[in-house]
Structure 1
């Protein structure tokens, strides 16, 4: 079956392409990209008018939580966050572990329309309820050899590892878990993705006193080039920004050593902190939505906590306040160029998971993963969960995507709704 995406603005940073082009898909592969493709080549194709829309390589969410059912309320349905939100690939950050990876493959990966990858949890139990039960996340709850073995046996699925460098963990058991995590990643030859910021329980609930400004340097010295530092724009202490409101002095040194930065938007994203980090000259490489069941309006299955710190610490509105595409809108509102924002969610994300030769570009012969967005002009308000607001004149909205040439409408009910500036029609 042929599909012709006609006349959209094609932005493909990996190919150096930005302009009005036609994209021809044939039998699930990219067959041609060009201006006014000849009728002899496009004969019989199903034509979709994409004028006024952005036609992009399939979007890659570098920070998902999609081990549905197994991780409790935390794990969202993959296709809800994936193809039904205009995203063709999800990377689950720390949901499956060496113990539960086989179930992740059988019950989620093989049964979802969205392509699913994993950064394996360093912990044996994986990402249960977003690390709500701290006794499950301590040094005795890791198995370095088993985790390395699992990753090497599943190279098509495991593209890295997830670990946490947060105040809660440091207060309980210092750097031991982080050192084991770094060892796992080094032995497997894969990147380590580091969560910065404060996870529950908070230090006041017990444990050693921790100076949050010392965490970044302790962690960075354990890491290798290609490892990923997440949540640079988090309002929580213990990351890129010191308590005094200034960029941590070792951030630029870490980047010079080859470490990468992923936004990992999440409910702790702060426009205020983002402005500080960006103004200091630190530009993230990749994006990542960090959506999960406690910052998204989904039913709570029986047995999940009645209240959860991540739900309590933001202004929960009964619906998600962000998605991967709305996070792209936030990056534009902060002043990042559109081409870089697209690269963050396409070719840069593909490099992060070592799949730049398969994903992240609309090269002829590649699998036809394509995301099509509406690029709307108007006046809207963007808000974070710290109470900051930013006004923007541009709103990106997913229209549909093609996953291996199969079309999916962006109809997920969890997608955010644009909020017009008061008194202005959007």
Structure 2
């Protein structure tokens, strides 16, 4: 047997109600023991890893990734770059594969990756090609309810939900029809639907159907069931959680009361100003996805089409940003969310969203050893969003390494940010 003991770190595990200094013993890829001092219980030949001053967490779960590398064009990133090499043990791809391309996603992404990769299946036959750049591929005629539900049912181990979009460009083209079909898919497949809010496509050249951005949220929420997920609450684009008058949409608290969940979906649309409005109104997201992709992250991309993408053009750093799930966690701390809740967002709550609570997102004796170890520093750092808004934080989290089924991976991804001291 091979053993490793993580010694003296601050273990935070909301699912187990644990927060304190503990040793964690891993044997043959599984968690063998957790105690404040394992002492003689540690095998003599165990590898000892000093984790003093670090956070030892259940393996982090990124609820919003785009990792269908190659097939989705320049949009999809390498799963291990965003995953284990960034301190993250599980990634959920949001809408990359469709019912047509899911077999390829399984064979070429999920199976060969060291990171555990799951998927929210695209509601559209096209999947996430080039980040949904070509809107006509996402019209109602390009959805097949029966085929998508069948694919989801036959791939329960991989498909944990469905992905659709509710935004101005689509509503101006075909109204609410796409969301009706996506909602039906979720009910028939008995899976959560993850809904993108905030403008994605420009309006059609003739202006299309008249759309009041503030009416989109109302129309969509009425179709949804408890457990469905409202994404991008902190988006700077219209048509989401914050109305054009700068106030929280009045239906948001009711949606939460009805059992709908909220995922940050950080990405390139993230706004500290919008976040402040939402949080000050008492709305706290349940989960946190990084939403990295090839157009908003500093990663070499192959030649392809289109020549440019709105997320790249509209990005104040012109696609040169370095970030990841752990830096998104620091953004949440900078906004004033407690560390305990931020950890909950990327562990227990994320596992619940994937319908894998108890299996993922917690450290269970005998369970698989998915563990993320983070550096936890104090000082003063400056953080900037895509609008140029600056916030400051006195606590900085960075990934040190992770264990995926007991195997150690260093956090050496080229996309990891370099902190800016204030």
C-alpha contact 1:60 1:345 (8 A) present in aligned 2 = yes
Which residues of 2 match residues 27-426 of structure 1 at below 5 A?
A: 27-202=28-203, 206-317=207-318, 319-421=320-422
Q: 1:219: how far off?
A: 0.2
TM-fit CA distance, 1:320: 2.4
Give the match's secondary structure for 1:149.
Answer: helix
Cα pair distance change 1:332/1:203, threshold 3 Å: farther
> What's the secondary structure of 2:267's corresponding residue?
coil
Q: Distance in 2 between matches of 1:339 and 1:187?
A: 35
Distance in 1 separating the partners of 2:319 and 2:247: 34
Task: After superposing the two structures, state which structure 1 stretch, 196-205 or 214-223, moved more.
Answer: 196-205
Extract unaligned runs of 5+ from structure 1: 422-426
Contact 1:319 1:414 in 2 (8 A): no
1:205 deviation in Å? 6.3
Computed over aligned residues only, the root mean square deviation of the Cα atoms, in angstroms, reads 1.0
Q: CA deviation at 1:287?
A: 0.3
- Where 2:24 maps in the other structure, the secondary structure is strand
How far 1:416 moved relative to its partner?
A: 1.1
Runs of 4+ in 1 over 4 A off after TM superposition: none
Offset at 1:43? 2.7
Q: Secondary structure at the match of 1:276?
A: helix
CA, structure 1 residues 92+205, in 2 after alignment: closer, same or farther (shift >3 Å)?
farther
For the residue of structure 1 that corresponds to 2:250, the secondary structure is coil
**CA shift in 2, pair 1:207/1:345, >3 Å:** same
Q: How far apart, in 1, do the equivalents of 2:305 and 2:50 lie?
A: 45
Cα distance in 2 for residues equivalent to 1:204 and 1:322: 35
Once the two structures are TM-superposed, the CA of residue 207 in structure 1 deviates from its matched residue by 1.6
Q: Shift of the alpha carbon at 1:203?
A: 5.3
The Cα shift of 1:387 comes to 1.2
List gaps (5 residues or longer) in structure 2. Answer: none
Counterpart secondary structure, 1:200 = coil
TM-score with structure 1 setting the length: 0.97
Deviations 1:323-342 (A, max 9, x none): 10001001001110101000
Query: 1:424 matched to which residue of 2?
Result: none
Checking the alignment, whether the CA contact within 8 Å between 2:287 and 2:349 is kept in structure 1 is: yes
Please state how far the C-alpha of 1:215 moved relative to its aligned partner: 0.2
Deviation at 1:39, TM superposition (A): 1.6
Contact 2:330–2:395 (CA under 8 A) maintained in structure 1 = yes
**Contact 1:91/1:117 (<8 A) preserved:** yes
- The answer as to 2:26 corresponding to 1:19 is no
- Asked if 2 retains the 8 angstrom alpha-carbon contact of 1:138 and 1:173, the reply is yes
Q: Deviation per CA, 1:232-274, whole angstroms, max 9, x where unpaired?
A: 0000000000000000000000000000000000101000000
Contact 1:320 1:415 in 2 (8 A): no
Cα drift, residue 206 of structure 1:
3.4
Contact 1:97–1:125 (Cα < 8 Å) also in 2? yes
Structure 2 CA distance, aligned partners of 1:161 and 1:134? 18
- The alpha carbon displacement at 1:357 in A equals 2.4
Task: Look up the SS of the partner of 1:377 in the other structure.
Answer: strand
Deviations 1:193-249 (A, max 9, x none): 000000122356632121100000000000000000000000000000000000000
Query: What is the alpha-carbon distance in structure 1 between the residues aligned to residue 5 and residue 117 of structure 2?
Result: 26
State how far apart, in whole Å, the 1-side matches of 2:182 and 2:264 are: 21
Q: Is the 8 A contact 1:203 1:209 kept in 2?
A: no
C-alpha deviations, 1:37-72, integer Å up to 9, x for none?
A: 022444321000000000000000000000000000
SS at match of 2:246: coil
Q: Deviations over 1:380-414 (max 9, x none)?
A: 10000011000111110000000000000000001
Q: How many residues align?
A: 421
* Structure 1 residue 321: Cα displacement: 4.0
Partners of 1:20 and 1:51 in 2: how far apart?
Answer: 9
